[in-house]
Amino acid sequence: MSPGMLADVTATGPGAESRRAALQALDGPPFDLIVVGGGINGTGIARDAAMRGLRVLLIEKDDLGAGSTAYSTRLIHGGLRYLEFFEIGLVRESLREREILLRIAPHLVRPLPLLIPLYRSGRYPASLVRMGLVAYDALSFDKSLPNHRFLTRADALRRVPGMNPEGLRGAGLYFDAQADYPERLCVENVLSASAHGAAVLTRARAERLLVKDERVLGVEVRDLPSGRAFTVLGRLTVNATGAWVDELSGTLATPPGRMLGGTKGSHVVVDPFPGAPRDSLYFEAGADGRPMFIVPWQDRYYLIGSTDIRYEGDLDRVVAEPAEIRYFLEEANRIIVGAGLTPASVRYSYSGVRPLPYTSGTREGRITRRHILHDHAPLTGLLTVVGGKLTTYRSLAEEAVDHALRVLGRPRRRSPTGLVPLPGAAGEPGRVAEWLARERGLQVEVAERLAGLYGTRAAEVLRAAGDDPDLLRPLGGEAPTVGAELVLAFRAELAGSLADAFLRRTMTGLAGDRGLGALDAALEVGRRHLGWDAERSGSEAEEYQRALERYAPAGLPVGAGS
């Protein structure tokens, strides 16, 4: 079937135009690049390739950023821990990228102070941590963030009064960065890719790589809303499906060996608790010496994680186990003695799979976090991305597109992505918030939220509100989301469902109430502004409830702490 014909049957309602345009583009000449996978790496590659003049198609089976990207610790970090394994190149690359992301996406990536408490019983002597931090600073000599410093025991306790004082010798204080919402980095990469001509199709699964005479010619794609299959041709296909990489490469007549060996990592989200630190804490778990984080998140909650467990299960249904949750709570209560965290303190949990290169026998924490680009020679027309952190997505994309230009015989053009800010990045978030509050009369809380999430694209939210002031009032619930954000998500940010809009556009679903307090008002916005009838509202609400199953521990209902 011709993909253009699909445009008639699958693209209706707000946002349908971009889907229709993407489906129609599939009828044109072969793409230069087909990127499979709309996580941070796939969207980064699509942006870079489109900016360097390639004709690009991005396909994603679910939603942008719905894979591992949505389930990480959300740090943009050099990887202090990797120094232990002498991964100097990776640390330097990550630190350079941290700086670039702070510059090209200041609304989405911000500096984060971290404190490493040093205990007498610790696995690493203070002198080694000190050496590590000195090396970290040396490897980020061109950074804008402050250098590390050491705190005496008294200073450390002054900074985090709740910290367990027993055996405490002092602490190292250093800076990394945090992307509260890497999901939105994906969205902004895609907005930029689309503005440079890329076609983007979500809910379209690559089912099979098409091969002829040792050459990958493209992919067979299934349009999930309609269930129909069609063929898309491209001169180079990039398998950027993260933890799913082996699934797609397994469709080759002669599949390569196993490339991916994922590990599962979980987190819990809690409200501020007695003794909660202002800074992030990076400490050794008492039970097994694993690195753990307690990170202030969304200016309102704390993220505690993570685990690192080899995983062979269903990649689309990864959830935290009650034992992991107990482990987080025990460790948090050990380091912050008065925290008093119990299973009832957990607002929700989430879990994802790190797409790591396959190794057998290596301890999880020792598996390299470096990415690998496989060109599959002597097969041509295929490039596979294995591994890759959030932090290094941009440099990975640059490397992939350099490769693409080479094999496509295109002139070398330098990647502009390190210099050209993401779409919402022009201007300072603080000043955008001030402008929204003062000039447009928005509540301060709403203005700050819009500036932090959308940067200067907050103006688009105002436009989406049109002349309906109701669309600029919070919907209710814990996140001060306004209705116009939903309208924008569907009309201009490729959201296809309420779950997309809540979990990966407006981020309402990551509030402590998981967006449930805003649900009814959101359905009303759907009815009034997006043309939803009662049936659509019902199915959106149901689908959203199903999506929330990822945010509850295994075997327990949504909302149960453990």
Ligand X SMILES: Cc1cc2nc3c(=O)[nH]c(=O)nc-3n(C[C@H](O)[C@H](O)[C@H](O)COP(=O)(O)OP(=O)(O)OC[C@H]3O[C@@H](n4cnc5c(N)ncnc54)[C@H](O)[C@@H]3O)c2cc1C
Where do contacts with ligand X occur on this chain (CB under 6 A)? 36-42, 59-62, 66-69, 71-75, 77, 205-206, 240-244, 248, 265, 306, 352-355, 388-391
Angle between helices 126-139 and 88-104 (to 10 degrees): 60
Question: CB of residue 306 vs ligand X: minimum separation in angstroms?
Answer: 4
Closest approach of Cβ 176 to ligand X, in Å? 9
Number of H helices, E strands in the chain: 17, 18
The helix or strand, by DSSP H or E, that contains position 532, with its residue range, turns out to be none
CB of 370 to ligand X, least distance (A): 11
Q: What are the beta bridge partners of residue 514?
A: none
398 contacts 416 by C-beta, under 8 angstroms: no
Could you tell me the smallest distance in angstroms from the CB atom of residue 319 to ligand X?
Answer: 12
Kindly tell me the burial class for residue 550, based on how many C-beta atoms sit within 10 Å of its own C-beta (0-12, 13-18, 19 or more). buried
- CA–CA separation, 428 and 202 (whole Å): 31
Of 164 and 306, nearer to ligand X (C-beta) is: 306
DSSP 3-state of 228: strand
Q: Which of 53, 177, 24, 186 is nearest to 112 (CA)?
A: 177
Nearer to ligand X, 390 or 484 (CB): 390
**Please, which residue, 100 or 337, has the CB nearer to ligand X?**
100
CA-based angle 133:134:136, to the nearest 5?
A: 60
As measured in angstroms, the least distance from the Cβ of 237 to ligand X is: 11
Output the CA–CA distances (angstroms, integers) from residue 3 to 21, 226, 228, in the order listed.
11, 11, 9
Which CB, 292 or 523, lies closer to ligand X? Answer: 292
Quick one: 391 or 537, whose CB is closer to ligand X?
391
Q: Of 18 and 68, which CB lies nearer to ligand X in the complex structure?
A: 68
Q: How far is the CB of 106 from ligand X (least distance, A)?
A: 18
Return the number of the residue (72 or 345) whose C-beta is nearest ligand X. 72
Least distance (Å) between residue 186 CB and ligand X? 8
Which stretch of DSSP H or E encloses residue 371?
none
H helices present in 199-311, as ranges: 245-249
Task: List, in order, residues 6 or more apart from 122 with CB less than 8 Å away.
Answer: 284
Q: Which residue, chain included where needed, has tokens 């959106």?
A: 540
How many CB atoms lie under 10 A from the CB of residue 123? 8
- At closest approach, how far in Å is the CB of 37 from ligand X? 3
Task: Give the nearer residue to ligand X in terms of CB position, either 353 or 442.
Answer: 353
Contacts of 144 (CB under 8 A, 6+ apart): 99, 102
